[in-house]
Chain A
């Protein structure tokens, strides 16, 4: 099994619908992140969580919300999806005490029509 698992892998949804993207990890890392990837823009940070009770907005948090249900689970919600939220979404984890850099999931490709 992958260290960082994202579900679903692909999703098509309609404008105005609520959608949740899920991320779970078996790395035992305390920190988790949600990124959005658009062609030519690299990765933009949406939200990050340093532990279950510590959640922070990233650079593009408008229109998104998150929930850290447990150390291993971090979900991203789009309350009312709009077409410009069509993108590839990545979850990542890191360990504040050991190691450097992030471990990424395989991504969720979201299309809002």
Chain B
């Protein structure tokens, strides 16, 4: 079975500063990796995903993530954040294959300060 650890429950950052949200996973088989974003009072939206190929994945709103198999990590980055990026971010993993059932991390609340 797979598991996901999001190392920071809250990340405050000033507007226009860079940010990294950390995610580590555990699995005995190959995986697919995802980042979702949840804005207040909304459901989760897919930000980006890694299935195979290039380890650097670009998503919506200027976010990107890098898959590092040796470190079993999939950290999310943005070079310059905006107030509107304030939201909760969830990392998720599924074992590659037909099941594709996701396991979610506990979430990281990103707060962008003016």
A interface residues (Cβ-Cβ under 8 A, vs B)? 4, 35, 40-43, 45, 48, 90, 92, 94, 96, 100-102, 104-107
Q: Are B102 and A104 in contact (CB under 8 A)?
A: no
Q: Are A107 and B43 in contact (CB under 8 A)?
A: yes
- Which residue of chain A has its CB nearest to the CB of B96? A100
Sort A-B residue pairs by CB-CB distance and give the 9 closest, nearest first.
A104-B43, A42-B106, A43-B104, A104-B44, A106-B43, A42-B104, A101-B46, A42-B107, A101-B34
How many A-B residue pairs lie within 8 Å, measured between CB atoms?
49
11 contacts between A and B (CB under 8 A): A4-B43, A41-B106, A42-B105, A92-B44, A96-B100, A100-B34, A101-B34, A102-B102, A106-B41, A107-B41, A107-B42
B interface residues (Cβ-Cβ under 8 A, vs A)? 6, 9, 32, 34, 36, 41-46, 49, 51, 90, 92, 94, 98, 100-102, 104-107
Most buried by B among A41, A101, A102, A106: A101
Kindly provide the distance from the CB of B89 to the nearest chain A CB, expressed in whole angstroms.
11
Kindly provide the distance from the CB of B24 to the nearest chain A CB, expressed in whole angstroms.
14
Q: Are A90 and B44 in contact (CB under 8 A)?
A: yes
Q: A96-B100, A100-B100, A105-B43 are in contact. Are A43 and B51 (CB under 8 A)?
A: no
- Which residue of chain A has its CB nearest to the CB of B47? A101
Most buried by B among A4, A92, A102: A102
Most buried by A among B32, B98, B104, B105: B104
Q: Which residues of A contact B92 (CB under 8 A)?
A: 101
Q: Which residues of A contact B51 (CB under 8 A)?
A: 100
- Which residue of chain B has its CB nearest to the CB of A4? B43
Kindly provide the distance from the CB of A21 to the nearest chain B CB, expressed in whole angstroms.
14
Q: A41-B106, A94-B100 are in contact. Are A100 and B49 (CB under 8 A)?
A: yes
Q: How far is the CA of A74 from the CA of B1 in the complex (A)?
A: 26
Q: How far is the CA of A90 from the CA of B90 in the complex (A)?
A: 14
Partner of B9, one of A40, A45, A92: A40
